[in-house]
Amino acid sequence: MADLPTNFEEFAEARKGAFMKVKGFKENGGNLVGVLCSYTPCELIEAAGAVAIGLCGTSNETVPDAEEVLPKNLCPLIKGTYGFAYTEKCPFTYYADFIVGETTCDGKKKMYELLNDLKETYVMQLPQTHDRAWSNSVWREELDLLKAKLEQTYGVEVTDDKLREAVRVRNDYRRALVELYECQLSEPPVMNGVDIMATVAAAGFTFDIKEFTASVSKKVAEAKAAYEAGERKVGTDRKRILLTGCPSAGVMGKVGASIEKNGGVIVAFDDCGGPRTQAALIDPEADDIMQAIADRYLAINCSVMTPNGGRLDNTLELCEKYKVDGVVDIVLTACHTFNVEAELMRQRMEKAGIPYIKIETDYAPNDQGQIDTRIAAFIEML
């Protein structure tokens, strides 16, 4: 029987329900691997018969607990991730067989050393450049090592056929998400951006990716049908905003909601969960399926890469495709890579004549008034 944490009775009913759901999944023989980043090759995990589940690091709830161990001047995503493991408040972290991390930023890779004391954490060594020939071979070796780790852990063989099937399932999932994002191409857009982000966020907490893909496709079909029937959830006077920068899930209630209550609507998402990471598919019939998976993931444009011109190019393409009026760049406090790269983003947007604003924040509510004031002024200027 899977044990519950000792502080289980202190949890709210919704969290108790989540704990019981994943507890039942484990007791029925389910295998669970915690993932933390869009560089995680989920196809390998799924080909091994396990579920890749996103971990809860996008809340201020456990940041004070994490600061008992971690520095205060650290990214809230890092502190939140560690804090949920440290306090045993995240059911998915608690019941994960192990966690897969990648050496993206320095803060995360050092935090993993401490996280490993709480839950086994397997760390992939991510090359931090696209423009060296050795990057592909290094990353391919990392995928081979993860494959061996999964086979050893679960006593299975991860065959090419299993990988190809996992690729097909993940491709369907990504197509559904891109179709959801493209609802915002309409003028006015089909729905509010915050609603889209809420749907996407739920993807990280599903045990059945096929079921979730079907639910997204259904949501898109229903929204489009209502739109074609004349329903308009978004006014024609709302300014079209592209959201870029750090992972936005933890601040969607602060920044995203502020945009949409102050005359804007989020039409394009350029963070880790947006089309920048979801649009790229994998050919399931590739001769070397492991290399095809490795190539797909290494091509992701994150600010940890240097140089990272591909991200700037992609953002500008999204601005043109979605006909945006302005760009809001979210930087989480102490995220140095995105914060420095924000200046390159500002320069690119200025050159293209697209209004731009950088919002630096964390998961705490203290700066909500300041954010509202700045965003209201930005949108009014548009």
Looking at the chain, the whole-number percentage of residues with pLDDT higher than 70 is 99
Q: What is the pLDDT of residue 2?
A: 84
Average pLDDT of the residues of the chain: 96
Rounded CA gap, 361 and 367, in Å?
8
pLDDT at 204: 62
293 vs 143: CA distance, rounded Å: 9
| pLDDT grade for 14, boundaries at 50, 70 and 90 | confident
Mean pLDDT of 9-27: 92
**What average pLDDT score do residues 145-167 get?**
98
Q: Residues 241-267: pLDDT tens digits?
A: 999 999 998 999 999 999 999 999 999
Report the pLDDT averaged over residues 104-129.
97
Q: Using one digit for the tens of pLDDT, what is the confidence trace for 69-90?
A: 999 999 999 999 999 999 999 9
| pLDDT tens column, 325-365 | 999 999 999 999 999 999 999 999 999 999 999 999 999 99
Backbone angles phi, psi at 101, to 5 degrees: -120, 170
Instruction: Please determine, for residue 323, whether its predicted confidence score (pLDDT) is greater than 90.
Output: yes
User: Has residue 66 got a pLDDT over 90?
Assistant: yes
Query: How many whole angstroms separate alpha carbon 138 and alpha carbon 45?
Result: 19
Q: Which residues on adjacent β-strands are paired with residue 54?
A: 35
Concatenating the DSSP letter of every residue in 362-380 gives -SSSTTHHHHHHHHHHHHH
What DSSP assignment string belongs to 296-344? HHHT---TTSSS-HHHHHHHHHHHHHTT-SEEEEEEETT-HHHHHHHHH
Q: What is the average pLDDT across 298-311?
A: 96
118-142, pLDDT tens digit by residue?
A: 999 999 999 999 989 999 999 999 9
**Integer angstrom CA distances of residue 54 from 38, 158, 204:** 10, 22, 4
Dist CA 201 CA 271 (whole Å): 12
pLDDT score for 346: 98
Amino acid, res. 329: D
> What confidence tier does 199 reach under pLDDT thresholds 50, 70, 90?
confident
Q: How far apart are CA 145 and CA 298, in angstroms?
A: 16
